[in-house]
Structure 1
Amino acid sequence: MSTVLRALLLSALLTLVPVGIGVAVSDDTTSAALPPAYKGTDLADFDTSAAVVQRTPFCELVPAAAVKAALGTPGDLTSYGNGEESAALPGSDVAHEYGCLFGQADAPGSEARGWVFAPPVSAERASALISATTTDVCAAQPGAPAYGTPSVAVVCTNGDARTASFRGLFGDAWLACSLTLPVGVAEADLVSRAGRWCVAVAQAASFTASSTS
């Protein structure tokens, strides 16, 4: 084998080795990716216009710390997917969404929820959903921070429990979240905790996009 040929082969080998190592490192980094750590961000400090929410399952990506901060103690997860029947839905209906409920066995009146519609939602449909959100027991919160565009925030009182909920359109994804606590919890505290919980839900529902890119 000539000296020139040996030199060419050696050069090619030295070029391939770093490329192979780079691919291996890249694959390891992608598979080890994790959702952002829970920081307890207030909804007013979170730019929901930058969130790219996916219409896919996300419950396993919700940080346990976010659940504990919302409920005061860790909660048990019940999740469901599009087309499934679940006791977590009113009347155990068939879901057309991906959702999760974190509750406590010893405190059935306290729960944190998050869900995203499986079908795409238009701006017109979002406006109709917003209109239907305000009822006799659910009062709109006009000064609340945005949760998508358009969005709505409501506080609902039902017996000895009160729920704060934020819902809105992220692109074509209708994302909603809620926090239910006993009425003994001050409403301002409930709304503040619900806002931080909803940020965690939005981050988890958006992470599926960045983790697969």
Structure 2
Amino acid sequence: MPGPLRWLLFAVVLTALPVTAGVLVLGEGEPDTAPPETAAPAYSSTPLGDLDTATVALARAPFCDRIPEEAVAEALDGKVGPTASYDAGQAAELAPGIKDVAHEHGCRIAGPGGTEVRAWVFVPPVTRDRATDLVTEAAGREGCSRATAPAYGDPSVALLCPSGKRTWVSFRGLFGDAWLACSLSAPSRLAEQELLDRTGRWCVAVAQAASVVE
């Protein structure tokens, strides 16, 4: 290779080295534009007293698959067991020991130690007069007493029904023209206020799941 051409190539290489180094240094100083990863917020249940039931509109349609798993686990205070869902027109166990053709959409979910949650909404629209009758019928259930609790619709009723080692707690009421009911069966050793609070939080999750989806 002729001498002048060799020196020309060497000069080009020497010039390129600082330029490349400068680009690398500048690249290291550029800020990371990728958005930081954020963890999904943990589930937090809502006390019944914090639910504005006057603004809740229900769809009178299947809803059980929209209830958060965390809400079910919290209500059952442990491992979630089998789930039995049913729709209007199907034969189902509508209440403990009572089987009939359903006129509602509902479900019941078992938990440990005989714990169980239930929820259902009537498919036919319910008038206010009919809802008042339903409240009266529920309040007159043998072995049950009315509990002092926040409203679950208007009109509504809260029931405490002790039975042996378990107590059945139920909230039910009218939301617009939809009659919604939910319940929790849990060990009777739990304090009444704890039972009412757990049932209320479960029933809020039910109402939110059964609400009209925009």
TM range (shorter): 0.7 to 0.9
What residue is the counterpart of 2:182 in the other structure?
177
Tell me if 1:137 matches 2:155: no
TM-score by length of 1: 0.76
Post-superposition, which runs of at least 4 consecutive aligned residues in structure 1 deviate over 4 A?
none
Tell me if 1:47 matches 2:52: yes
- Aligned length, in residue pairs: 171
* Residue 87 of structure 1, CA deviation: 3.9
* Residue 38 of structure 1, CA deviation: 4.3
Select 1:81's aligned residue among 83, 87, 100: 87
Provide the C-alpha distance between the structure 2 equivalents of 1:84 and 1:37, rounded to a whole number of angstroms.
36
Provide the C-alpha distance between the structure 2 equivalents of 1:184 and 1:64, rounded to a whole number of angstroms.
25
* Residue 37 of structure 1, CA deviation: 7.8
Is 82-91 or 110-119 further displaced after alignment? 82-91
Provide the C-alpha distance between the structure 1 equivalents of 2:100 and 2:158, rounded to a whole number of angstroms.
24
* Residue 197 of structure 1, CA deviation: 0.4
Provide the C-alpha distance between the structure 1 equivalents of 2:49 and 2:98, rounded to a whole number of angstroms.
34
Tell me if 1:157 matches 2:156: no
What residue is the counterpart of 1:20 in the other structure?
none
TM-superposition CA deviations, 1:22-68 (whole Å, max 9, x none): xxxxxxxxxxxxxx984211000111111111110000001100011
Change (3 A) 1:96 1:179: same
What's the secondary structure of 1:93's corresponding residue? Answer: strand
Tell me if 1:92 matches 2:92: no
Provide the C-alpha distance between the structure 2 equivalents of 1:78 and 1:204, rounded to a whole number of angstroms.
17
What residue is the counterpart of 1:102 in the other structure?
109
Do the aligned residues in 2 keep the contact of 1:43 with 1:198 (CA within 8 Å)? yes
How large is the Cα RMSD of the aligned pairs? 1.7
Instruction: Name the larger-Rg structure.
Output: 2
Provide the C-alpha distance between the structure 2 equivalents of 1:41 and 1:152, rounded to a whole number of angstroms.
19
Q: Which stretches in structure 2 are left out of the alignment for 5+ residues? A: 1-40
Tell me if 1:198 matches 2:187: no
What's the secondary structure of 2:115's corresponding residue? Answer: strand
Provide the C-alpha distance between the structure 1 equivalents of 2:190 and 2:85, rounded to a whole number of angstroms.
26
Give % identity: 49
TM-score by length of 2: 0.75
| Residues 23-34 of structure 1: pairs in structure 2 closer than 5 A | none
* Residue 88 of structure 1, CA deviation: 5.4
Q: Which stretches in structure 1 are left out of the alignment for 5+ residues? A: 1-35
What residue is the counterpart of 1:167 in the other structure?
172
